[in-house]
A and B are shown apart, each in its own frame.
Chain A
């Protein structure tokens, strides 16, 4: 309710908000209620947090390649790097960036709105996220350091004293940070969903929406339905840790001493965690899928193949995401019929995923391809999504999953399918919308250099992990010395992976330099450098100013994919252009208006 109440003054103040742009430094750049500024704040914060997550991955890789040679990396530190790397990347980078960054920037511009439905709530969402990041990093200065209980923070080991590093204040701060993040995500999600439902421009039917908006929209709905489980699980775990309750902690004898807990059920936490955790991976992949769809259509100069099927697939993936969570728990022990159901539901996800993949391929097929940096990243996304997604069919089968559980096979699978793919989607989007958001072009040569090193490099990192995992290399181990079934060559492979990881890391410096240099020195961009159809490219100013559209809002007459329409005067027809030929055969919303 307080969210709502907080949103209200804004709804009363529209006239002022939109006719008098804020002029002070604080209201314009810090406590701004403009969705574009908030998007930038999210973007910059998430990228900086992501750099920390990347550095942790290097430290882990250095240990695996050169075990014990760096005194900085002790077993406890290793577990902390691992835990924090996972948390940071999944929650504080990918979720925050894709929903808070892309969601904020793109939704109002793509649907033809002047701002979000609740701008004040939107500002609160960012600053709440900021507080959650502060809490996350505060764990690094408390006694015991941050949690090392694994990113899944399973009890009992995550909160029992001495059972894992940071199992007292480290985990408590992390749980508080997650609860605050859920509050932030809820405020954001309410805004994104309400905005898409209520503030679309005249003529913009749901079936005229660009797929980027569809992806972010469904991901936001998933966030609203999934984050509460993390919140509930987190609060209960926090009470177990702080107040001595026994929601999850059973009777435990530690070093001959009986702890105060009794009867709790650790599996219950796993259910709550994965009820959130599985939709979470779709929360990060659906927006990336949407972004990639729009970029591929644009640079193929073709309408997206099967728009309606794409929308249905997004909805199907979103719906299935709530029916598969226990496939993360096959080895936790469950009724075989239960496991059977979750295996079937998991394999069913392959159907909408395959529909999307074929549609991307068929959009590319016969297209007039324009290999810009964002296009390369979009194609790279399709590649890593397939390379990572196909092994989901292995892991979704209970019998195959059991021996592969907690090996590098799993690490390779989820990094390729939702880590690397989501990041490639983010890079595609950053390069694609950079000219609109900044008003200058990035450097194409540096962009392509960044792409090729990142793309080839991430394959070099993660593909060999399939082999290591199949050979039995366990995940989360500080050292593999005692893992006797591993052949000696696996160590050489680990050195190779580490070198690739450091190289990919270095390539991100090229990206950072390109970004910063282009912001100040890049060539001035025109309003629509990619000759795109969707509304964000039709703003009167570039970058768009406060209120986005000047005196009159756009009116929408067609879908976002009128590329290369036979008989049209140019090879693209923006959504706000009335009349003229259209891709009628494929425009699903053709009868709506």
Chain B
């Protein structure tokens, strides 16, 4: 876990002493003043990131538990191997592109490139939507092949794992949509206001990519 080290002055303390006297050029100081270096000395981002990292740890336990149960249940005599759905490779590609676009948006945002940030940010979201639509198609293909939720434990696990992963991504997309409003609206100078949201979304996207690769790997290779 990457928890940032103890920060002796937390955001509230600073606020209490500075009050509303701050200028408009970036209330959290994020990227508003490049002289002050990167974001890691920014307590608010550190706090938000610590919270997200903890959530990622919890979500990791959820998926690890499910995958352990998958490995255990697979030893049952009734386990049947699912048809190989080629569309899963395509979906994996979408999610890789989505994650890469989000990462690019994050880097451009740090440099203060609003136009570039907007482009890659929207592209990242679009690829995530494509991924989810592709997953729905995969469900349909599996269903047509005769595998419903309760047909076989292998399909039960497939639907359960993809649903949980998809719900996480959907929640991420809600946060993405909410951040998009400010990113699209904001004038160039106030990109800083969205900095935390971009950082957190990118981190979450990378996490969901890793989780998907693990799920995909188990479904494809450990069946």
Q: Which residues of B contact A225 (CB under 8 A)?
A: 57-58, 61
Q: How far is the CB of A268 from chain B (nearest CB, A)?
A: 6
Q: Is A408 an interface residue (CB 8 A)?
A: no
Q: Is A333 an interface residue (CB 8 A)?
A: no
Cross-interface CB contact of B77 among A203, A232, A263, cutoff 8 Å = A263
In angstroms, Cα B59 to Cα A229, docked, is 11
The chain A residue sitting closest to B61, CB to CB, is A228
Q: Which residues of B contact A118 (CB under 8 A)?
A: 51
Q: Which residues of A contact B54 (CB under 8 A)?
A: 189-190, 193-194, 224
In angstroms, Cα B153 to Cα A353, docked, is 42
| B9-17, B81-89, B210-218 - interface stretch | B9-17
B51/A7 in contact, CB under 8 A: yes
Q: Which residues of A contact B8 (CB under 8 A)?
A: 200, 202-203
The chain B residue sitting closest to A11, CB to CB, is B44
Q: Within residues 428 to 486 of chain A, which ones have a CB less than 8 A from any CB in chain B?
A: none
Q: Which residues of B contact A264 (CB under 8 A)?
A: 73, 76, 153
B20/A243 in contact, CB under 8 A: no
In angstroms, Cα B14 to Cα A199, docked, is 11
| B62-70, B99-107, B117-125, B129-137 - interface stretch | B62-70
A11/B47 in contact, CB under 8 A: yes
B78/A246 in contact, CB under 8 A: yes
In angstroms, Cα B67 to Cα A272, docked, is 12
Q: Is B115 an interface residue (CB 8 A)?
A: no
Q: How far is the CB of A239 from chain B (nearest CB, A)?
A: 7
A1/B171 in contact, CB under 8 A: yes
Given contacts A2-B174, A8-B48, contact A246 B150 (CB under 8 A): yes
Cross-interface CB contact of A4 among B3, B55, B76, cutoff 8 Å = B55
Q: Which residues of A contact B20 (CB under 8 A)?
A: 15, 19
B65/A229 in contact, CB under 8 A: yes
Size bracket, chain B contacts: 35 or more
The chain B residue sitting closest to A260, CB to CB, is B150
In angstroms, Cα B47 to Cα A199, docked, is 8
Q: Is A184 an interface residue (CB 8 A)?
A: no
Cross-interface CB contact of A232 among B48, B62, B76, B174, cutoff 8 Å = B62
What are the interface flags for B3-36 relative to A under an 8 Å C-beta threshold, 1 for contact and 0 otherwise? 1101111111101110110000001100000000
Q: How far is the CB of A247 from chain B (nearest CB, A)?
A: 6
Q: How far is the CB of A10 from chain B (nearest CB, A)?
A: 10
Q: Is B206 an interface residue (CB 8 A)?
A: no
What are the interface flags for A71-95 relative to B under an 8 Å C-beta threshold, 1 for contact and 0 otherwise? 0000000000000000000000000
Q: Is B112 an interface residue (CB 8 A)?
A: no
| B90-98, B138-146, B196-204 - interface stretch | B196-204
| A62-70, A109-117, A132-140, A411-419 - interface stretch | A109-117
A236/B69 in contact, CB under 8 A: yes
What are the interface flags for B179-216 relative to A under an 8 Å C-beta threshold, 1 for contact and 0 otherwise? 10000000000000100110011001000000000000
Q: Within residues 40 to 56 of chain B, which ones have a CB less than 8 A from any CB in chain A?
A: 43-44, 46-48, 50-52, 54-55
| Main SS at interface, chain B | helix
Q: Which residues of A contact B160 (CB under 8 A)?
A: 235-236, 239
Given contacts A232-B66, A239-B156, A247-B153, contact A224 B196 (CB under 8 A): no
Q: How far is the CB of B29 from chain A (nearest CB, A)?
A: 13
In angstroms, Cα B164 to Cα A232, docked, is 10
Of A117, A190, A245, the most chain B CB neighbours within 10 A belong to A245
Size bracket, chain A contacts: 35 or more
B16/A117 in contact, CB under 8 A: no
Q: Which residues of A contact B66 (CB under 8 A)?
A: 232
B15/A15 in contact, CB under 8 A: yes
B149/A113 in contact, CB under 8 A: no
Q: Which residues of B contact A8 (CB under 8 A)?
A: 48, 196-197, 200
Q: Which residues of A contact B16 (CB under 8 A)?
A: 18, 114, 547, 551-553
Q: Is A316 an interface residue (CB 8 A)?
A: no
Q: Within residues 1 to 40 of chain A, which ones have a CB less than 8 A from any CB in chain B?
A: 1-5, 7-8, 11-12, 14-15, 18-19
B7/A198 in contact, CB under 8 A: yes
| Main SS at interface, chain A | helix
Of B16, B27, B175, B204, the most chain A CB neighbours within 10 A belong to B16
The chain B residue sitting closest to A5, CB to CB, is B175
A5/B51 in contact, CB under 8 A: no
Q: Is A197 an interface residue (CB 8 A)?
A: yes
In angstroms, Cα B55 to Cα A307, docked, is 30
Q: How far is the CB of B58 from chain A (nearest CB, A)?
A: 5
What are the interface flags for A117-145 relative to B under an 8 Å C-beta threshold, 1 for contact and 0 otherwise? 11001000000000000000000000000
B57/A247 in contact, CB under 8 A: no
Given contacts A7-B48, A225-B61, contact A12 B149 (CB under 8 A): no
The chain B residue sitting closest to A117, CB to CB, is B47
A244/B150 in contact, CB under 8 A: yes
In angstroms, Cα B63 to Cα A231, docked, is 11
The chain B residue sitting closest to A235, CB to CB, is B160
Q: Which residues of A contact B61 (CB under 8 A)?
A: 224-225, 228-229
The chain B residue sitting closest to A551, CB to CB, is B16
Q: Which residues of B contact A193 (CB under 8 A)?
A: 50, 54
Q: Which residues of A contact B153 (CB under 8 A)?
A: 245-247, 263-264
A232/B69 in contact, CB under 8 A: yes
Q: How far is the CB of A236 from chain B (nearest CB, A)?
A: 7
Q: How far is the CB of A5 from chain B (nearest CB, A)?
A: 4
In angstroms, Cα B66 to Cα A233, docked, is 9
Q: Is A345 an interface residue (CB 8 A)?
A: no
Cross-interface CB contact of A206 among B6, B78, B150, cutoff 8 Å = B6
A198/B19 in contact, CB under 8 A: no
Of B76, B197, B201, the most chain A CB neighbours within 10 A belong to B76
Q: Is A205 an interface residue (CB 8 A)?
A: yes
Q: Which residues of A contact B47 (CB under 8 A)?
A: 11, 117, 194, 198-199
The chain B residue sitting closest to A108, CB to CB, is B12
Given contacts A11-B196, A194-B47, A236-B160, contact A113 B10 (CB under 8 A): yes
The chain B residue sitting closest to A191, CB to CB, is B51
The chain A residue sitting closest to B66, CB to CB, is A232
A200/B6 in contact, CB under 8 A: yes
A114/B65 in contact, CB under 8 A: no
Q: Is A186 an interface residue (CB 8 A)?
A: yes
Q: Within residues 232 to 263 of chain A, which ones have a CB less than 8 A from any CB in chain B?
A: 232-233, 235-236, 239, 243-247, 260, 262-263
B149/A272 in contact, CB under 8 A: no
The chain A residue sitting closest to B172, CB to CB, is A1
Q: How far is the CB of B144 from chain A (nearest CB, A)?
A: 19
Q: Is A381 an interface residue (CB 8 A)?
A: no
The chain B residue sitting closest to A233, CB to CB, is B65
In angstroms, Cα B201 to Cα A236, docked, is 29
Q: How far is the CB of A95 from chain B (nearest CB, A)?
A: 16
Q: Which residues of B contact A114 (CB under 8 A)?
A: 12, 16
Q: How far is the CB of A535 from chain B (nearest CB, A)?
A: 14
In angstroms, Cα B12 to Cα A418, docked, is 37
Q: Is A275 an interface residue (CB 8 A)?
A: yes
Q: Which 5 A-B pairs have the closest CB atoms?
A: A263-B78, A5-B175, A228-B61, A244-B150, A228-B62
Instruction: Provide 21 A-B residue pairs closer than 8 Å at the C-beta atoms, listed in order of the A residue.
Output: A1-B55, A1-B168, A1-B174, A1-B204, A2-B174, A3-B51, A5-B200, A11-B47, A189-B58, A194-B54, A232-B65, A233-B65, A236-B160, A245-B149, A245-B150, A246-B150, A246-B156, A263-B79, A265-B72, A553-B13, A553-B16
Q: Supply 6 further A-B pairs (C-beta < 8 A) apart from A8-B196, A193-B54.
A: A2-B174, A5-B197, A19-B20, A197-B4, A198-B46, A224-B57
